[in-house]
Amino acid sequence: MSMLEVALDPATVIVAVDPGKVLNRVWVSNGAGLLAEPVSLSVSRKGVHVLERLLAERDAAELVIAVEATGDLHRSWVSELERRHPGSVRLFAPSETRAARTQLGSARFKTDDRDCAALTYLARQGRGRHYSEESAVDALRAAVRHRRGLVTDRKVAQQRLHAQLNALCPGLSAPAGHGRALPVASSTGLAVLGCAAAFAGRAPRLRSLMARAPGRMTQATAEYWVCRWRGCLAPPADAEQRARRLDRDLHRYRALQTDITSLEVELTELLAATEGQILTTLPGVAVTRAAAFAAFSLPIARFPDAEHLYSATGLAPALYQSATLHRRGRISRQGLAEHRDALMGMAWGLTISSPSFAERNAELRTRGMAPIQARVALARNVCRLAYRLLRTQQPFDEERYRRGRLSRGR
């Protein structure tokens, strides 16, 4: 199990590691107290060698290494220590460390030593998650986060390309309300951008436009854009310089597209190695959405039920109860925004592709809910469904889900 919950023997040696960018703070202790003075060790091979020497001097037969999982800072040491001491490394979330500091009476006094004391306290109770269980998920999470960053960069690049094209050819890249839109990522969009960079904003011939299309482009579409281009105002005086900048940005955009495509192939392989593969059986949830949600939900044993998982996404409404007072506020927004966005993306995909969720969405809209409110409400149902799939590893069955929903009166 991921949550061990078995108190350790007092003779067990606990190594508490609070990661840093350059130095890691380390405590070595057992049930009797510290076995050595707290030390700050380098995040390098030398630091690991010093720690190994400390452990060798104490002759640690039973060893538990408690590490706070803080972003990417812990990864180098965790992988090396797991290789040297298989099954000994346990990970703790920063929220767990903060809660332990509160129990130890130092909630508002954060230091590296207090964090190490909190990690020792948690490990002594048998808390934490084995790193060996999370290595596959860790690789998936890294790929998901990298793709998310690339997609953000692509969005900025598209906006820059539209702005540059509008400066070179005023009115050519019009929004949807002003005629036919020009999607940059499409074959037509790339052909138009290529011609704008090659001819410094001047209108190309039909053959030139079609030759620069990386994919299918009909003659009627090419004729439309050439005709529209000839009706634009003349390029600015510095069109040559703008065209060179546009050409460089276009090359960067194409490289981004290539990187995202290759990363999605990697996501397919990484997702197949985890329990999150079962989420791809949901209609409207392909590899990208399934990987984004699984990366922050696995191992699913961390969550005792679906409501805890839903609360971890930050979409659950804030709740205040005291005596006779019961207040429910807006969504709490606790947890990771990436986790929250992944669940909302799954809700959107199911609303489009699943008849059951489409009907439920229509019911919520009929009640007067705004689109975003309806999707948040649907996200709770999606979270319950995803939790069940991850637990049982049984593929989604539309008819069975519909029968179960009707039998519960939902």
Query: By three-state DSSP, how is residue 305 classified?
Result: coil
Q: Left if phi > 0, otherwise alpha if psi is -120 to 50, otherwise beta: which for 335? A: left
How far apart are the C-alpha atoms of 14 and 128, rounded to whole Å? 13
The whole-chain average pLDDT of the chain stands at 90
Q: What is the pLDDT of residue 2?
A: 37
Q: What is the pLDDT of residue 406?
A: 62
Helices (H) and strands (E) in the chain, counts: 15, 9
Q: What is the pLDDT of residue 10?
A: 86
Within the chain, which residues score under 70 in pLDDT? 1-6, 175-179, 318-326, 328-329, 406-410
> Among residues 239, 139, 143, which one has the least CA distance to residue 198?
239
Whole-prediction pTM:
0.82
CB-side exposure of 216: number of CA atoms within 13 Å?
1
Q: What is the pLDDT of residue 326?
A: 67
* DSSP state for residue 110 in the 8-state scheme: -
- Cβ-based neighbour number of residue 333 at 10 Å: 12
Cβ pair 351, 357 in contact under 8 A: yes
Structure tokens at 374: 């309806």
Cβ pair 208, 195 in contact under 8 A: yes
∠ at Cα 288 (265, 311), nearest 5°?
Answer: 145
Specify the residue for token string 């949600």.
Answer: 293
How far apart are the C-alpha atoms of 407 and 409, rounded to whole Å? 5
Question: pLDDT tens for residues 101-114?
Answer: 988 888 788 899 99
How far apart are the C-alpha atoms of 130 and 120, rounded to whole Å? 15
Rounded to the nearest 10 degrees, what angle do helices 187-198 and 131-168 cross at?
Answer: 50
Say which amino acid occupies 325. Answer: L
> Among residues 42, 41, 86, which one has the least CA distance to residue 64?
86
∠ at Cα 67 (62, 68), nearest 5°?
Answer: 155
Q: What is the pLDDT of residue 211?
A: 95
> Among residues 335, 350, 337, 334, which one has the least CA distance to residue 383?
350
Measured in residues, the chain has a length of 410
